[in-house]
Amino acid sequence: MHTDRARLGRHKFRMAALLTGAAITAGGLAAIAPADASVVTAKSAKATPPVMAYVALGGTPTGYVAPLNTATDKIGKEIAAGNGPDLVWVSPNGKTVYAEDGAPAAAGGYDLVPISTATGKPGTPIALPSATIGPGPLIFTPNGKQAYVIDRGGVGGVTEINTTTGKTSAEITAGDDLESLAVTPNGATVYVAAGDSAAVYPINTKTNKPGSPIPVGNFPAGLLMSPNGKTLYVSNDDPPLGSVEAISTATGKVTATIATGSGAYEMALSPNGKTLYVTDTYGQSLTAISTATDKATATIPVCPAAASGLTCEPAGIVFTPNGKTAYIANQSREGTTLLALNTVTNAAKEITVGGSVPYLAITPNGSSVYAIVWYPAGGGAVVPIAAATGTAGTPIDASATAAPGWIAMGLPTLTVVTATLRAGVVGKAYSVQLAAAGGVGGYSWRIAAGKLPKGLLLTAAGLIKGKPKTKQTATFTVEVADPGGATAAAAVKIKVT
């Protein structure tokens, strides 16, 4: 069994880095409002493939990534990935998993190993300039064409990766002791927190040049971008005084400083975007912050009264889609539980899993939470939690030879679920909404092959409308794309009488 837990140290790998992706409805189907009451939703009958999670299995001389089927809780065939991956990320289109090579290659330096989610095969490793500790947090631009990864060694820097070619930029210098990354919704700017520099650096993604540092509090560690891109939140984790600062991305100025108790570890935004939650590992609590006012609204104890700082250290947070329950990792090495918070009543409870919980992930539909568990005696497992009840399931042994590291949740496969289209009548108004599932929300549609019946058109939102002009049966192919670059297509037909 191998996972270098000491690597957590001061470099706190924040779960926000792995929880990238767009919110979808509970059923995994994008909700597109019909234009009017006369719109008919096309019949849908296609089942979508299960969502896969990916578990890093650090181990030398060979490490692996294990695919986990979240429908069956079964581990698939392990994928060789370098010398010992501890961290994994899934690209915005869900097509590629990137595994951090947790041990240096024979020639020195570290790699990222790209893995195709379609075939389960690793591609050519991407060499990174780091030669001391290894790559740290990674973030993608929303379109998935660029990835930025931190070099955690020494002064450190940031490397840009062209995800199409696998080519890397020269290392971008941006302060000392780099901790975390955030990106604007338009992908124009990546921000990096430099802990020892007490600053946040903006990086222009077109030029890869850093801008002027934005001074913040002591040891900025976590970053979180607001959905509208107007505010960047920074957690300053410098006990005994933790804080969160709000930065205007328009001006690069700090607009608010919010005290968070003894520290400010992980940040997570509620699904409705109204509340920012910040974990105080040292104070065993959460601070709730209103994003409308950037003021703290509550300090919420989440550890049992009898728990000491040795057994309860709240860390990363994931939410159920309705926002009513927050699951909180307990990274204490002596801990044996994770935490569940009712966000309506602010009542917390423990869920026994038998070991420390450094990382969590939740399925896109919110049905299951997966906890990475490290057992006190060594080794570990992935423990599924029924999100609706907080009941822990049977531990999943990710590997017989390595303890699990990070877990990254894949995306539901983008699929056209429209099966049939209703017939039309010459001269009569026709309006049918196409439907898709999976991928990232915010679909765009087009005709990829063939033609619609004369008089009809397809909007980018997936609405077929108009008045048919001639009797005919038209067969054509519709294609849907999501903002992450994923596409799916299906052949359909309309009969006009």
Predicted pLDDT at 240:
80
- How far is 360 from 495, CA to CA, in rounded Å? 49
- Closest by Cα among 178, 160, 179, 171 to 16: 179
Predicted pLDDT at 108:
56
Q: What CATH architecture is 5-28+51-409?
A: 7 Propeller (2.130)
Predicted pLDDT at 442:
82
- How far is 399 from 396, CA to CA, in rounded Å? 9
Please say whether the beta carbons of 89 and 46 come within 8 A: no
* 270-283 per-residue burial string, b: 16 or more CB within 10 A, e: under 16: bbeeebbbbbbbbb
From residue 168, alpha-carbon distances to 100, 112, 159, 485 in Å are 15, 11, 7, 20
Strands of 92-177, DSSP E: 96-100, 110-116, 126-128, 135-140, 146-151, 157-162
- How far is 38 from 54, CA to CA, in rounded Å? 43
Is the pTM value of this prediction over 0.85?
Answer: no
The residue ranges of every structural domain in the chain are: 5-28+51-409, 415-496
Please say whether the beta carbons of 46 and 80 come within 8 A: no
- How far is 36 from 34, CA to CA, in rounded Å? 5
DSSP per-residue codes, 338-367: EEEEETTTTEEEEEE-SSEEEEEEE-TTSS
Provide Rg for the chain, Cα atoms. 24
- At 179, which amino acid appears? E
Q: What CATH architecture is 415-496?
A: Sandwich (2.60)
Please say whether the beta carbons of 87 and 434 come within 8 A: no
Contacts within 8 Å (CB) and 24+ apart, 149-155: 149/112, 150/178, 150/179, 150/180, 150/181, 150/192, 151/178, 152/11, 152/178
- How far is 338 from 64, CA to CA, in rounded Å? 26
Predicted pLDDT at 485:
81
- At 417, which amino acid appears? V
Bond prior to 61 in cis (omega within 30° of 0):
yes
Could you list the mean pLDDT of each consecutive 10-residue stretch along the chain, which spans 497 residues?
Answer: 34 47 28 35 56 82 86 90 84 90 62 90 84 78 94 78 93 90 96 94 97 94 96 91 95 96 92 96 93 96 76 94 96 93 95 94 94 89 95 82 83 86 96 88 91 96 96 95 86 94
Predicted pLDDT at 311:
85
